[in-house]
């Protein structure tokens, strides 16, 4: 905090970081509120396809805010189509 008081550049960097992370948090909350679990999983596979195969199912399920069993059912339904 002291660096922000002494330098406009540090103050600007702190503000930009806060804006970026607050925007990211707001977008994530909107997805949790307005998308159903299937839509959240599909969004995850589209935006971060690299992690879908690398991360264990229980961690993967926690990211879109669901239980592992629910994610398994969603993945099974999607694979059947």
* Per-residue pLDDT tens over the stretch 24-39: 889 888 887 888 889 9
Rg, the chain, Cα only: 18
pLDDT at 29: 85
Give the C-alpha separation, 1 to 10, whole Å: 9
Which tokens is 24 given? 């990211």
What is the pTM assigned to this prediction?
0.66
């Amino acid at each position: 905090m002291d660096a922000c008081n002494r330098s406009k550049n540090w103050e600007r960097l702190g503000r930009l970081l806060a804006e970026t992370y607050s925007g990211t948090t707001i977008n994530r909350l909107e997805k949790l509120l307005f998308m159903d679990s299937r839509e959240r999983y599909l969004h995850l596979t589209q935006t971060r396809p690299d992690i879908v195969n690398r991360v264990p199912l229980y961690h993967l399920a926690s990211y879109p805010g669901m239980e592992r069993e629910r994610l398994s059912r969603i993945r099974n339904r999607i694979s059947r189509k």
